[in-house]
Amino acid sequence: MLPALIFRNAFRHKLRSLLTLLGLTVAILAFGLLSTVVEAWYAGAEGASSARLVVRNSISLVFPLPLTYRQKIRQIDGVRAITTANWFGGIYKEPKNFFPQFAVEASTYLDLYPEFVLSEAEHKDFLHDRQGAVIGEKLAATYGIKLGDTMTLKGTIFPGQWAFVVRGIYRGRDAKTDVSQMFFHWDYLNETMKVRAPRRANTVGVYVVEVADPTRVAEISRVIDGEFGNSYAETLTETEKAFQLGFVSMTEAIVVAIRLVSYLVIFIILAVMANTMAMTVRERTAEYATLKALGFGPPFVMLLIYGESLAIAALGGGIGIALTFPVATAFAKAMGTLFPVFVVSAKTVWLQACCALAVGLISALFPARSAARVNIVDGLRSIG
Amino acid sequence: MPVPLAYSLRNLWTRKLTTALTAGGMALVVFVFAAVLMLDEGLKKTLVDTGEPDNVVVTRRASGTEVQSGVERAAAAIVESLPQVALGEGGARQVSKELVVLISLNKRESDKPANVIIRGVAPMGLTLRPQVKIVAGRMFRPGSNEIVAGRSIAERFAHTGLGESVRFGGREWVVVGIFDAAKSGFDSEIWGDVDQLMPAFRRPVYSSLIFRLNDVSGFAAVQNSIESDQRLTLEAKRERQFYADQSEALSTFIRILGMSLSVIFSIGAVIGAMITMYAAVANRTGEIGTLRALGFRRASILAAFLLESLFLALLGGLLGLFIASFMQLLTISTMNWQSFAELAFRFTLTAAIVAKSLGFALLMGLVGGFFPALRAARLNIVDALRAV
Amino acid sequence: MSAPLVSLRDIVKGYRRGQQVVPVLTGISFDIAAGEFLALMGPSGSGKSTLLNLIAGIDRPDTGELIVAGERIGTLQEAELADWRARHVGFIFQFYNLMPVLSALENVELPLLLKDMSHRERRERGELALSMVGLADRMDHAPSELSGGQQQRVAIARALITDPTLIVADEPTGDLDRESASDVLRLMQRLNDEIGKTIIMVTHDSRAAEYAHAIMHLEKGELSGREAVR
């Protein structure tokens, strides 16, 4: 009978229950979406390797490194493989179509990035065409680009119009792999720059280094930096993960703000729920007094109220969680390539459930207490 | 005759907890709404203020930002000699050829890195930015390894305070002064002598050129001269426009995200108001019947309940604004995606934002209170009286 | 002579109204025997409901001795008092006080939740109680689907189901029309005559009082003597 009492009371006022459910659903949904946005922000760093090192100019990424460093770094003990990458920063059709573009050492790049899966044939085609480019499948899907298509980028750092032929489309080995990147031959970039702006030729953005033993990353990083200390271009070497996290921390303020706001929405719905429960309990004072007169103790009355609050919270939370998945998918589509990975994680669902539970419990706290304490005689007299 | 105002107000006061919770929910929503507007305003202020109406910024075509741009010495000389460039004391051309690069510095408390703009300026550079004033120490001496840091940087980044020194380009650079740039973007920069910084960074070309127009209306002409000159691959923008364009992505992002969140959150608050007002109507059915029997019209009942809802919303709106106003004490700093550089800005409250926020609150109150008020107005007198 | 079912000695009870304490009962003493059907009458504010509340164990006297069904209930703790009520008292309220979300049968079964009983046994007892008040055919109806008189009869079935030692009724016919009122009163009389239930009823309706064995008047906190009716 207890479950019957709880559930039927929860939906006694159809309109009120419906509105409360709606509010909860929207709040939990919003919370889930915002959590997913925060996780997507860190996704790049999450998927980064701890066995790959990034070597950059210690002043900032804006400054390049000389090509001559390659040999020296390769010879350092513990370095198994090396490749180079230059951030290109071009515009594809419109500035808002943002995706990473790199000019890389084509012969070695894919060896250091085994998570980019490319067919043998496409890999060969890419290597043979100096103007060729390889793009991720998400990029291909978002802009409808197929093998053999020409992509034209408007250079910002490297001025002029740049045309590339798509020779390969790579897949991601893992779920978190970024499949929205584009890379092409550094040779093509360099040859063109030798003509357009010779001073800027033969420079590299970063070196990407693979170490044989991941436990030695800190030591090898120090050795690399020590090699070029006091030289014309001092280096800073860190793991790829640290490198990516560095970027995230630069926009940390925004991430923190989004996180705070996601909890704010829970507080808003808590205020609404607490109000609903307070009003509901007050209206039923006579009923609780009757139960107490009949011999039911305060715990029973409290159980009724907590049960009702939790029933609504569970239902609203459940619907909100269920809706998060399709809404996240739609959102990811609308965002295009801005977030390479946009997936609702188990952790987010867990947090959503906890929030729903907390809202159910806290909003019942004071009403349950006052109902349990109601003086029978006064309670019977009240009209609500 | 209208139902007395006191009726609506008194009822809110009687049910204090409900009023507090409902207004509280609304306050939180208005807080978010106002905070977003304040952030956008602060961002705009920082960037738009980073610019004089009669200054022009010249960069390489399609480079987007000064950091990505490169202006050859020869090209700079051509621009410098254009007739629209203002002349200052002693006939000196009011032009500053500048180098803008990013260096990675660690924040003081968190030790996390961020990209900070270092701007090599010519002596004229300070003159062209009248809002920049040295507030501690002194300006750097040309020809030395001295630099000055913007207030925002000196406070938050290691080694950038007065007397401290930063190492880059193989040399130590001493901070001899702190400048205040009236909350414009320059507050987040470090300045030094361009002729010292260029060799230090091994940059033989400038990043940009800033000059003052001798006549504000001469912009179109000089822009045409620069952009149609075959020898140059440059573009010119008014300084204000240049910096505004640089933050467009960030600004748009904040605005869209903020507004969507406000709308979503407002659903919660409106639902809260609806639940409260429906309950109010249900609890006071007898009263309503009595009022109707006494001669008050349906419209007056509708107005009375709608007013109650609006008062709730106003209360929430004022509370939300009050809390939001404290955000003005915070400084936000983040990387501007377009320039890749650290940018600090504040929340700025304006009269327009106050008006918009209160308007938003009242709108929530109107939407939330309308249907309950309608129900109250539609009650049948006899049924209502019987419910007593 | 067997011990009285209810025994009050020098009962004093007052209520706090802001700063003041308003005295309601100022030294009541009397007995009620088992099997009696007693009506308590008096003007509004006389304290008759207060007196009933004390006897029913939902309020405590300020001073005085109160023994009901062999228990000094004036000094029991909250939890013990609740258990005592569950065992010994059946309630009939003026506004029926049924749970709106439960059916008639579920309302009647409600007090049995406090006892260790199987679902089936509860249901059997509930159906039995409802048939005793003549509403077996309405057992799945919600209170909102029943008339005032029918609701009160459901309430009586609920009051009976635990086989309590005494039944207290506060203005049981206050909200009923004449016909339903006499139905309810006749039912109460039958319960008293046929099963021997002790009933204490507070009422302001002298016609209702005539269904009882005896009437006592309460005025300004003082009881008049017993006035036999039948």
> pLDDT tens digit string along A346-380?
999 999 999 999 999 999 999 999 999 988 998 88
- CA distance, residue A252 to nearest chain B CA (Å): 7
Tell me the per-residue pLDDT of A324-335, one tens digit each, with 9 for 90 and over: 999 999 888 877
**pLDDT for A384:** 47
**pLDDT for C173:** 92
Residue C208 has pLDDT above 50, yes or no: yes
**pLDDT for A159:** 85
Q: What is the Cα–Cα distance from B46 to B184, expressed in whole angstroms?
A: 4
DSSP letter string, B184-195: SGGGGEEEEEHH
Q: Minimal Cα distance from C122: which residue of A?
A: A1
Binary contact (C102, A286; C-beta < 8 A): no
- Tally Cβ neighbours within 10 Å of residue A88: 22
**pLDDT for A325:** 95
Task: Please tell me if residue A335 touches chain B, with a CB cutoff of 8 Å.
Answer: no
CB B349 within 8 A of CB B324: yes
Tell me the per-residue pLDDT of A212-241, one tens digit each, with 9 for 90 and over: 888 888 899 999 999 988 787 889 999 998
Phi-psi category of residue A56: left, alpha or beta, with phi > 0 → left and psi -120 to 50 → alpha: beta
CB C146 within 8 A of CB C138: yes
**pLDDT for C104:** 95
**pLDDT for C136:** 92
Q: Average the pLDDT over B291-305 and give the result.
A: 88
Residue C45 has pLDDT above 80, yes or no: no
Q: CATH number of the domain that C109 lies in? A: 3.40.50.300
Q: Average the pLDDT over A99-127 and give the result.
A: 93
Q: Give the residue numbers spanning the domain of C79.
A: 6-228
Q: Average the pLDDT over A97-104 and give the result.
A: 91
Let me know if B337 is exposed, middle or buried by CB neighbors in 10 A (0-12, 13-18, 19+). Answer: middle
Tell me the per-residue pLDDT of A130-146, one tens digit each, with 9 for 90 and over: 999 999 999 999 899 99
Q: Average the pLDDT over C119-140 and give the result.
A: 93
User: Which is more confidently placed, A37 or A383?
Assistant: A37
Q: Report the first-to-last Cα separation within chain A, whole angstroms.
A: 25
Tell me the per-residue pLDDT of A267-278, one tens digit each, with 9 for 90 and over: 999 999 999 999
Of A176-185, A313-322, C12-21, C61-70, where does mean pLDDT reach its minimum? Answer: C12-21
Q: Report the first-to-last Cα separation within chain C, whole angstroms.
A: 21
Contacts of B167 (CB under 8 A, 6+ apart): B159, B173
For A219, A253, A333, A374, the CA distances from A342, given in Å and listed in that order, are 35, 20, 9, 50
Q: Where are the beta strands (DSSP E) in chain A?
A: 52-57, 65-66, 79-87, 101-104, 116-117, 132-136, 150-155, 160-172, 182-185, 203-204, 206-211, 235-239
For A60, A174, B152, B156, B237, the CA distances from B160, given in Å and listed in that order, are 16, 43, 10, 8, 31
Crossing angle (nearest 10°) for helices B351-378 and B248-283: 30
Tell me the per-residue pLDDT of B27-74, one tens digit each, with 9 for 90 and over: 999 999 999 999 888 888 887 777 888 899 999 988 888 988 889 999
Task: Please tell me if residue B371 touches chain A, with a CB cutoff of 8 Å.
Answer: no
Chains with 3 or more CB pairs under 8 A to chain A? B, C
Question: What is the average pLDDT score of chain C?
Answer: 90
Q: Average the pLDDT over A262-270 and give the result.
A: 93
Q: Where are the alpha helices (DSSP H) in B90-193?
A: 124-128, 151-156
For a pLDDT cut of 70, what percent of chain B falls above it? 99
For a pLDDT cut of 90, what percent of chain B falls above it? 45
Q: Minimal Cα distance from A261: which residue of B?
A: B32
Let me know if B137 is exposed, middle or buried by CB neighbors in 10 A (0-12, 13-18, 19+). Answer: middle
> Closest partner residue to A278 among B17, B60, B70, by Cβ?
B17
For a pLDDT cut of 70, what percent of chain A falls above it? 99
> Closest partner residue to B21 among A34, A253, A275, by Cβ?
A275
The three-state secondary structure class of B371 is: helix
Residue spans of the domains in chain A: they are 2-44+252-381, 59-233
Q: Which of residues 288-347 of A touch C (CB under 8 A)?
A: 290, 292-298
CB B170 within 8 A of CB A230: yes
pTM for the whole structure: 0.86
Quick one: pLDDT band at residue B246, thresholds 50, 70, 90? confident
Residue C1 has pLDDT above 70, yes or no: no
Residue B20 has pLDDT above 50, yes or no: yes
CB C150 within 8 A of CB C138: yes
Binary contact (C56, A8; C-beta < 8 A): no
Structural domain total, chain C = 1
| Helices and strands in chain A: count of H runs, count of E runs | 14, 12
Residue C1 lies in a domain: no
Task: Identify any residues that bridge with B89 across adjacent strands, giving them in sequence order.
Answer: none
Phi-psi category of residue C64: left, alpha or beta, with phi > 0 → left and psi -120 to 50 → alpha: left
- CA distance, residue B22 to nearest chain A CA (Å): 6
Quick one: pLDDT band at residue B270, thresholds 50, 70, 90? very high
Task: Please tell me if residue A95 touches chain B, with a CB cutoff of 8 Å.
Answer: yes
Task: Please tell me if residue B367 touches chain A, with a CB cutoff of 8 Å.
Answer: no
Residue C86: its chain A contacts at CB < 8 A? 294-296
Q: Average the pLDDT over B101-127 and give the result.
A: 89
For a pLDDT cut of 90, what percent of chain C falls above it? 67
Residue for token pair 């579920």:
C106
For a pLDDT cut of 90, what percent of chain A falls above it? 67
Residue spans of the domains in chain B: they are 5-48+248-386, 62-232
Residue for token pair 């305060």:
A298
Write phi, then psi, for A382 (nearest 5 degrees). Answer: -75, 150
Which has the closest alpha carbon to B279: A280, A273, A270, A23?
Answer: A280
User: Which is more confidently placed, B232 or C131?
Assistant: C131
The three-state secondary structure class of B206 is: strand
Residue B257 has pLDDT above 90, yes or no: no
For A164, A184, C15, C22, C149, the CA distances from C18, given in Å and listed in that order, are 88, 85, 9, 10, 38
Quick one: pLDDT band at residue A10, thresholds 50, 70, 90? very high
> Closest partner residue to A22 among B101, B102, B271, by Cβ?
B271
Which has the closest alpha carbon to C6: C25, C28, C26, C33?
Answer: C33
Phi-psi category of residue B205: left, alpha or beta, with phi > 0 → left and psi -120 to 50 → alpha: beta
Residue C78 lies in a domain: yes
**pLDDT for A383:** 61
